Amino acid sequence: MTEVSAITTNIQRWQSAAALLAMVLTWQIAASIAADRLFPGPVQVVSVLLHEAVRGELLYHLGISLARVAASLGAAILIGAVLGYAAGRSRRADVWMRPWIVLLLNMPALITVILIYIWLGLADTALVLAVALNKIPNVVVTIREGAGRLDKDFAEMAELYRFGRAAMLRYVVLPQLAPFFLVSLRNGLALTWKIVLLAELLGRSNGVGFQLQVYFQNFDVTHILAYAISFGVVMLAIEYGLLVPLERHLLTWRR
């Protein structure tokens, strides 16, 4: 890195920190002006957040919700990748899948969740299935795009040197699909946790979504915001602690 670009990066970092601080300050000032139980300031919210975290309730519900996000997203990516790969490689598979994809892509999450709850009962398997069903069509569309663009030259080379199925998949196909998996994962995380919360609110008796419903009934805005912030922090941690390093690892060769 040159000296000038190092300085620029440093300035940008300070600006980001300042912007974040300005946002929190604005919130605090607005809350002081409003002076209302229904509009708590950041200090109040954070103290409730810490209290809840220490008492154990918050971490328990957060953990449950995250497990549901992981299960749904994992299932959606696995199933979506297989279907998307088939659709990208075979015109016929694509044609047969298309109406399902279009239908599911346009189905509001609320409807899927309600229907699956009715059909399968209010259980975790139903929740995971419903959330996965919401995400699968997006994964299919993304992976289909990647599978349709697989390099023919590499495939020929691998065939000539008799790579075999496993090596072909691992060293030729998956590296080309890696950027598409990353997009699925990142977009999937953003979509999935919102639907998980909705599904918890509708039919589970634990998890962040369930807690939000309880606090909604009490008009407990401070707790609602505390849960919202905790979830936001976890998502940021996953982005910078997991996705960014993963991306860097997978794309080392580009540098």
Partner 1 sequence: MATLMLRIRIEEKTFPGDDGQRRTIFCPLSLDIADGQVCVLTGPSGVGKSTLLSIVSGVDDEFSGSVSGRALPVGMLFQTPRLLPWLTALRNIELAVPGHAPDAARWLAAVGLKGHEQDYPQRLSGGMARRVALARALAVEPALLLLDEPFASLDQATAQAMRRLLQDSFAKRRPTTLLVTHDLASASSLGDRVIVLEGSPARIVRDVEISRRDEAGSARFRLGNSTQ
CB 144 within 8 A of CB 94: yes
214: Cβ–Cβ under 8 A, 6 or more apart, which residues?
Answer: none
How many amino acids of this chain bind partner 1 (CB under 8 A)?
16
Kindly tell me which residue out of 14, 60, 96, 171 binds partner 1, with binding defined by CB under 8 A.
171
Residue 19 near partner 1 by CB under 8 A: no
Q: What does the alpha-carbon distance between residue 153 and residue 177 come to, in Å, rounded to a whole number?
A: 16
* Least distance between partner 1 and beta carbon 87 (Å): 23
We find the least distance from the C-beta atom of residue 156 to partner 1, in angstroms, to be 4
In the complex with partner 1, which residue's Cβ is closer, 217 or 249?
Answer: 249
**Of 156, 216, 232, 236, which lies in the binding site for partner 1, with binding defined by CB under 8 A?**
156
Is the CB of residue 65 less than 8 Å from the CB of residue 197? yes
Ramachandran assignment for 184, one of left (phi > 0), alpha (psi -120 to 50 degrees), beta (any other): alpha
CB of 170 to partner 1, least distance (A): 10
Give the residue among 69, 87, 224 at the shortest CA–CA distance from 143. Answer: 87
Is residue 246 part of the contact set for partner 1 (CB under 8 A)?
no
Q: In angstroms, give the least distance from the CB of 181 to partner 1.
A: 14
Q: Does 166 bind partner 1 (CB under 8 A)?
A: no
CB neighbour list of residue 192: distance below 8 Å, 6 or more residues apart? 69, 72, 73, 76, 131, 134, 135
Q: Which residues here bind partner 1, judged by CB under 8 A?
A: 153-154, 156-157, 159-163, 167, 171-172, 175, 252-254
